């Protein structure tokens, strides 16, 4: 088996970043708030054909102060924050209950762009979470109905049975309430925009919240 294992180091040496035509980014021509710039970059990522630009990494901290990370879907961004949803009883849900602070990391490789968002996390109203869930696909509801997220699974068969029952229920009762489903809002203290550059003169613009308004500053790459 081991003889057939791919050569990771060799593969890594064949791969590149920032070796395509990348957009210019002029930090002097940016809005005073990060949200409009995020929205603009998001729209540009979609227009450029970036796959799944709405799937950022979400970093949280557990009770021991250890970092954790996973991908989630972005459900929206507005003056209340960047919104995502999950089960309150999942690992991330428990971590957020203990340490309501998180970071989101977006990477839009087509344009060599990264956006980092850090801040305090609050939970939305239960009705909002249910409305959010019921506005989504049958698959999203079925997936939420399966529940037990992050618990140890005894076998794939057990999941197959639970999933079949959940799909059947989601189709039959599309307004079913999933009590653990929670919408979270990450209200940023910092938002950083990173524009990659072929000559490695990457542009980093950080917005920091303070004194009731946003401060902008450049960072060394």
Ligand X SMILES: Cc1cc2nc3c(=O)[nH]c(=O)nc-3n(C[C@H](O)[C@H](O)[C@H](O)COP(=O)(O)O)c2cc1C
Q: Which residues contact 12 (CB under 8 A, 6 or more apart)?
A: none
Number of residues that bind ligand X (CB under 6 A): 15
92 near ligand X, judged by CB under 6 A? yes
DSSP state of 94: H
Interface with ligand X, residue 97, by CB under 6 A: no
Q: Please, what sign has the CA dihedral across residues 84, 85, 90, 95?
A: positive
What mask, x for binding ligand X by CB under 6 A, covers residues 6 to 45?
A: ----------------------------------------
86 lies in the site for ligand X, by CB under 6 A: yes
Name the phi and psi angles at 177, rounded to 5.
-90, 135
State whether residue 14 is helix, strand or coil. helix
Nearer to ligand X, 80 or 215 (CB): 80
Closest distance to ligand X from the beta carbon of 211 (Å): 34
Q: Which is closer to ligand X, CB of 68 or CB of 173? A: 68
- Residue list 98-137, contact with ligand X (CB under 6 A): none
Residue 158 CA: distances (Å) to CA of 106, 152, 153, 155, 181:
34, 11, 8, 5, 21
CA distance 181 to 153: 19
Chain residues 45-64 in contact with ligand X, contact rule CB under 6 A:
52, 55
Which residue in the block uniquely carries the two structure tokens 């305090």? Answer: 120
Please say which residue, 122 or 150, places its beta carbon nearer to ligand X: 150
Q: Tell me the closest approach of the beta carbon of residue 83 to ligand X, in angstroms.
A: 10
Stretch in the footprint of ligand X (CB under 6 A) among 89-97, 125-133, 153-161, 185-193: 89-97
Q: By C-beta, is 71 or 218 nearer to ligand X?
A: 71
185 neighbors 80 (Cβ within 8 angstroms): yes
Paired strand residues for 85: 183
CA distance 139 to 170: 8
DSSP state of 38: H
Task: Decide if residue 150 touches ligand X (CB under 6 A).
Answer: yes
Binding footprint of ligand X on the chain (CB under 6 A): 52, 55, 68, 70-73, 84-86, 90-92, 149-150
């Amino acid at each position: 088996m081991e003889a057939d294992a791919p050569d990771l180091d060799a593969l890594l040496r064949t791969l590149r970043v920032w070796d395509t035509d990348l957009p210019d980014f002029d930090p002097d021509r940016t809005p005073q708030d990060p949200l409009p710039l995020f929205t603009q970059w998001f729209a540009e990522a979609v227009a450029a054909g970036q796959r799944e630009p709405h799937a950022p990494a979400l970093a949280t901290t557990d009770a021991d102060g250890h970092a954790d990370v996973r991908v989630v879907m972005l459900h929206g961004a507005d003056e209340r924050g960047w919104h995502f949803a999950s089960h309150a009883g999942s690992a991330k849900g428990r971590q957020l209950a203990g340490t309501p602070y998180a970071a989101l990391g977006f990477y839009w490789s087509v344009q060599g762009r990264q956006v980092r968002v850090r801040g305090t996390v609050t939970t939305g109203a239960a009705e909002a979470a249910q409305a959010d869930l019921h506005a989504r696909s049958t698959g999203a509801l079925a997936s939420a109905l399966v529940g037990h997220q992050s618990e140890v699974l005894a076998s794939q068969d057990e999941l197959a049975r639970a999933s079949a029952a959940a799909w059947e229920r989601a189709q039959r009762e599309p307004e079913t309430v999933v009590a653990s489903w929670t919408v979270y809002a990450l209200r940023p203290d910092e938002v950083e925009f990173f524009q990659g550059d072929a000559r490695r003169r990457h542009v980093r613009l950080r917005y920091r919240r303070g004194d009731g308004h946003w401060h902008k500053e450049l960072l060394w790459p």
